[in-house]
């Protein structure tokens, strides 16, 4: 009976570690993508301040692009938050098993 429990615990540990490493990889990827988006938004804001003489049309095109990037950033941030919660839920049992 103890062997079965040990085997189940070991399998769970390996499964959790595998899931956790996948989530960590996805978190790093999302963090990188969010950083890039933040850089794009910052760059856009700098250009916007420097180019007050731009036409109204191009201003609205850029504004729409910024809104899209900000919306994408919000979605990615929400996904990152969900992944962090999943990682926390997976990592907690692993620390007890090890």
Whether the per-residue pLDDT at 52 is higher than 80: the answer is no
pLDDT value of position 60 = 55
For the chain, the C-alpha Rg in angstroms (whole number) is 22
pLDDT value of position 57 = 54
Distance (Å, whole) CA 67 – CA 80:
20
Domain boundaries, the chain: 2-97
Whether the per-residue pLDDT at 5 is higher than 80: the answer is no
Instruction: Select from 81, 91, 69, 98 the least CA-distant residue to 26.
Output: 81
pLDDT digits (tens, 9 = 90+) for 20-41: 778 788 888 888 888 888 888 7
Whether the per-residue pLDDT at 87 is higher than 60: the answer is yes
As a whole number, mean pLDDT of residues 37-56 equals: 71
**DSSP helix/strand/coil, 54:** coil
As a whole number, mean pLDDT of residues 37-64 equals: 68
């Amino acid at each position: 009976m103890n062997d079965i429990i040990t085997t189940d615990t070991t399998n769970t540990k390996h499964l959790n570690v595998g899931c956790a490493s996948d989530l960590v990889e996805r978190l790093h990827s999302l963090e990188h993508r969010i950083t890039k988006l933040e850089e794009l938004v910052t760059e856009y804001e700098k250009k916007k301040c420097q180019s007050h003489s731009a036409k109204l049309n191009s201003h609205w095109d850029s504004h729409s692009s910024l809104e899209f990037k900000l919306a994408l950033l919000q979605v990615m941030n929400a996904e990152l938050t969900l992944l962090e919660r999943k990682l926390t839920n997976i990592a907690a049992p692993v620390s007890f098993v090890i």
